[in-house]
Amino acid sequence: MDKFTTLNGVAAPLPMINIDTDKIIPAVYLKTIQRKGLKKGLFYELGHKPDGSENPDFVLNQPAYSQSTILVTGDNFGCGSSREHAPWALLDFGIRCIIAPNFADIFFNNCFKNGMLPIKLPQEVVDQLMEDAKKGANAKLSIDLEAQTITRPDGGVVHFDVDPFRKHCLLNGLDEIGLTMQKGAEISSFEDKNRLSQPWLWS
Amino acid sequence: MTKPRTLFDKIWDAHIVDRQADGTCVIYIDRHLVHEVTSPQAFEGLRMTGRKVRRPEATIAVPDHNVPTTDRSKPIAEPESRLQLETLAKNVAEFGVTYYDINDIRQGIVHIIGPEQGHTQPGMTIVCGDSHTATHGAFGSLAFGIGTSEVEHVLATQTLIQQPAKNMLIQIDGELGPGVTAKDIILAVIGKIGTAGGTGHVVEFAGSTIRGLSMEGRMTVCNMTIEAGARAGLVAPDETTFEYMKGRPHAPKGAGWEQAVKFWKTLPSDPGAQYDKTVVLDASEIVPHVTWGTSPEDVLPITGKVPNPADIQDEQKRAGMTRSLQYMGLTAGTPLTEVPVQRVFIGSCTNGRIEDLRAAAAVAKGRKVAAGVNAMVVPGSGLVKHQAEEEGLDQIFLAAGFEWREPGCSMCLAMNPDKLEPGERCASTSNRNFEGRQGKGGRTHLVSPAMAAAAAVTGRLTDVRDLA
């Protein structure tokens, strides 16, 4: 997994609530056995007209936002399906940080597994960052995970929370499976006890 | 005296392998369900790192999302779907995982066959790369959806790294009126608490109404807990649970069964256990529900009218409603019973079980699908299909003009050829009415099986109580 330490980039404003994972990437794009190449399905319906041509009004299709690495969006982002294709598609476009008042649990969790940082902030703070994002490519946000800060274009600083363990994994680009495998003895010991206390689970 | 614990607390505590200072835990996973869409990259990850599946016998795989619901003697036409199915077959063979293939009568939607085969048991932790894993909570097992990275984590270690959830109690008491089902209960719950109302929580459903539900009904309720944003839904195990489970192929047998039941009876929440949030509903006030918009929280009693964005104060919410109504092709103020449908879908992990098909057949019996309506019934598994045929339900549906299909996820998410055309409107027993969910430009109204059958025979959204 790639490390996440600092990120200075263009933030795209997407002021909609309840953006579900079908909206982030429709199911038809899940018919792949790869993790890469999913940006072609990213926000497909929002980004295209009914005839299939590109919708120039959609934020990520606008030249000022084509290099966005941050997304500022509405409450309950990523609700619905567990598809990790949603963070994969965002990452494939180049987005590594998403800022919203709240996220659906599974999506939130999936981001951290891919070197991405979802940040929860109060609605009024997200509203301010949304206004920053609307100023286009010249108004960049700067994120420092170690310090847990977002620096706004006017120099103002916003502080955010992140779980210590998740922060540690992101900063160091750690492979969680490798970390857990180091606890192999504890897992075996759990299994040995479980085999005795609930034998019907092992027959 | 120890602190009273909830059902969730008990299952969580019993599965902790390791706990860190910040509360993050390594949790043991008892059963891992796998399907073809969210697993290929996980198996590939194992291959690249030279890792094995830690417990192949506790890992159960089945193809469901992509499978065609028509004649299966022919190869799957779509190359990408075929590749996902072939990849799953190859992976389960290479890693030695338990597998129900497409031609096995036990094949079906992963959340239907887990309980059906007795893999799902009280007190377990169960995960799957699918958000509707919440279904299994109906047995008092902690069951939740995970992403593909976590699928790989479970395959390799039989554990997950998790933060504990908060406890929410949804207490529902009283008797359900005629024509009101488990689907209407959960739609009413989502309407009340909203699509993010359960975020960060595990929801325990309790009360006389929940006790009175069959296992099928409890599964419907828990299945859609994710549509309220909750990590999982739970119902405490009781005699109804044990009765359903007894004798199933993978349920405990003999002395093991007695030992297991004794343990399962210790699982219900202790008197005085604390919940972070409590919601109370009166069952007698719940009527048949239908969604009008593009989020499961956009739901109303069938007796209602399409809402008006002008009545909404919050700007983002008003914009959301306007967009929803435009997508759905609906005009504010229209009575919901005047909305015509062209398609009806009966099936899915929400409502593809035998009881659901019986309820739909009871409405379809002696009636005809309305002119201009295409209605399909997709049983949740091969065994549900077989049982329905034994009971003659297929003949009732066919005589009424419904299509009778092979089992799978089908038009719940339109990954196989079953999908809506742009602008087509569907009364569906599935779980999500998101834009494009049932096909690009398709318009979904979520309802119960009885309500779906009622819409099929009248050609419009219908209050099933009016058909009596």
Q: What token pair was written down for B306? A: 């399409």
Q: How large is the average pLDDT for residues B419-436?
A: 97
Residue owning tokens 């009280």: B122
Q: Do A16 and B320 touch (CB under 8 A)?
A: yes
Q: What DSSP string describes B85-127?
A: HHHHHHHHHHHT-EE--TTSTT-B-HHHHHHHTT---TT-EEE
Q: What is the pLDDT of residue B251?
A: 98
Sign of CA dihedral B322, B327, B329, B330: negative
Q: What are A40's two structure tokens?
A: 């072609």
Residue A185's pLDDT is what? 97
Q: Report the distance separating Cα B291 and Cα B49, nearest Å.
A: 46
Whole-number Å distance between alpha carbons of B194 and B297? 5
Q: Which residue of B has its CA nearest to A101?
A: B196
> The tokens of B279 are what?
């919601």
In chain B, what residues touch A81 (CB-CB under 8 Å)? 130-131, 145, 413, 432
User: Which DSSP string corresponds to B195-218?
Assistant: TTTTTTEEEEEESHHHHTS-HHHH
On the question of pLDDT at B1 being above 70, the answer is no
The DSSP string of B7-47 is HHHHHHHHTEEEE-TTS-EEEE-SEEEE-SSSSHHHHHHHH
pLDDT of residue B442: 97
Question: Is the CB of B73 inside 8 Å of chain A's CB atoms?
Answer: no
Give the single-character DSSP code of B2. P
Phi and psi torsions of B346, nearest 5°: -115, 115
B288: which DSSP letter? Answer: -
Q: Quote the pLDDT of residue B73.
A: 86
Do residue A33 and residue B316 have CB atoms under 8 angstroms apart? no
Checking if the pLDDT of B316 tops 90, the result is: no
The strand pairing partners of A14, in sequence order, are A73
Percent of chain A at pLDDT exceeding 90: 97
Predicted-complex ipTM score: 0.97
Q: Show residues of chain B in contact with A103, CB under 8 Å.
A: 199
Q: What percent of chain B has pLDDT over 70?
A: 100
Residue in this structure with the two tokens 């998403």, named with its chain if needed: A98
pLDDT at B412: 97
Residue B356 tokens, joined: 């659901």
In chain B, the percentage of residues whose pLDDT exceeds 90 is 97
Size of interface A-B (CB pairs under 8 A): 188
Residues 117-156 of A with CB under 8 A from B: none
Identify the residue whose tokens are 């085999």: A195
- Average pLDDT value for chain B: 97
Secondary structure string (H, E, C) spanning chain A: CCCCCEEEEEEEEECCCCCEHHHHCCHHHHCCCCCCCHHHHCCHHHHECCCCCECCCCHHHCHHHCCCCEEEECCCECECCCCCHHHHHHHHHCCCEEEECCECHHHHHHHHCCCCEEEECCHHHHHHHHHHHCCCCCCEEEEECCCCEEECCCCCEEECCCCHHHHHHHHHCCCHHHHHHCCHHHHHHHHHHHHHHCHHHCC
* A6-172 CATH choice from 3.90.1280.10, 3.30.465.10, 3.20.19.10, 3.40.50.10490: 3.20.19.10
User: CB B199 to CB A76 under 8 A?
Assistant: yes
- CA atoms of B181 and B161, how far apart (whole Å): 37
Q: What per-residue confidence (pLDDT) applies to B62?
A: 98
Inform me whether the C-beta atom of residue A157 falls under 8 Å from chain B C-beta atoms: no
Q: Where in chain A is the domain with CATH 3.20.19.10?
A: 6-172
A190 in B contact zone (CB under 8 Å): yes
The model's pLDDT over B177-219, given as tens digits with 9 standing for 90+, comes to: 999 999 999 999 999 999 999 999 999 999 999 999 999 999 9
CA distance A114 to chain B (A): 8
Question: What is the arithmetic mean of pLDDT over B403-409?
Answer: 97
Interchain CB distance below 8 Å, A177 and B24:
no
Is B351 at the interface with chain A, CB within 8 A? no
| Alpha carbon distance B425, B329 (integer Å) | 9
Give the whole-angstrom CA distance, residue B110 versus residue B130: 9
C-beta neighbour count of A64 within 10 angstroms: 14
Number of helices (H) and strands (E) in chain B: give both, helices first: 16, 19
Please, are residues A79 and A54 in contact by the beta-carbon 8 Å criterion?
A: no
- Tell me which residue has tokens 């597998």: B99
Residue of chain A whose alpha carbon sits nearest to that of B132:
A81
pLDDT tens-digit series, residues B337-371: 999 999 999 999 999 999 999 999 999 999 999 99
- For residue B154, give the chain A residue with the closest CA: A177
The secondary structure of B306-365 as a DSSP string is ---GGG--SHHHHHHHHHHHHHHT--TT-BGGG-B-SEEEE-HHHH-SHHHHHHHHHHHT
Q: What is the pLDDT of residues B63-119, one digit of tens each?
A: 999 999 998 888 899 999 999 999 999 999 999 999 999 999 999 999 999 999 999
Check residue B398 and give its pLDDT: 98
B28 at the A interface (CB within 8 A)?
yes
pLDDT computed for residue A175 by the predictor: 87
Which residue shows structure tokens 């009971």? B391
In order along its 203 residues, chain A shows pLDDT tens digits of 899 999 999 999 999 999 999 999 999 999 999 999 999 999 999 999 989 999 999 999 999 999 999 999 999 999 999 999 999 999 999 999 999 999 999 999 999 999 999 999 999 999 999 999 999 998 999 999 999 999 999 999 999 999 999 999 999 999 899 999 999 999 999 999 999 999 999 98
DSSP state of B78: S
Contact in structure between B132 and B350 (CB atoms under 8 Å)? yes
Nearest-CA distance A99 → chain B (Å): 16
Backbone angle region of B180, left / alpha / beta, with phi > 0 → left and psi within -120 to 50 → alpha = beta
Mean pLDDT for the stretch of residues B6-26? 96
First and final C-alpha spacing in chain A: 37
User: Is any Cβ of chain A less than 8 angstroms from the Cβ of B44?
Assistant: yes
| Measured CA distances, A111 to A5, A11, B150, B294, B394 (Å) | 15, 17, 11, 24, 44
| E strand or H helix at B145 | strand B142-145
Which pLDDT score, from 0 to 100, does residue B293 have? 98
| CA B274-B220-B162 angle, 5° bins | 50
Q: Which residues, including other chains, have CB under 8 Å from residue B91's CB and lie 6 or more apart?
A: B39, B40, B43, B61, B97
Cα separation, B222 vs B379, whole angstroms: 19
| A15–B316 C-beta distance less than 8 A | yes
Report the chain A residue with the minimal C-alpha distance to residue B201: A105
The residue of chain B nearest to residue A15, with distances taken between CA atoms, is: B316
**Whether A28 contacts chain B with CB within 8 A:** yes
Q: What residues in A contact B316, CB-CB < 8 Å?
A: 15-17, 74
d(CA B347, CA B370): 19
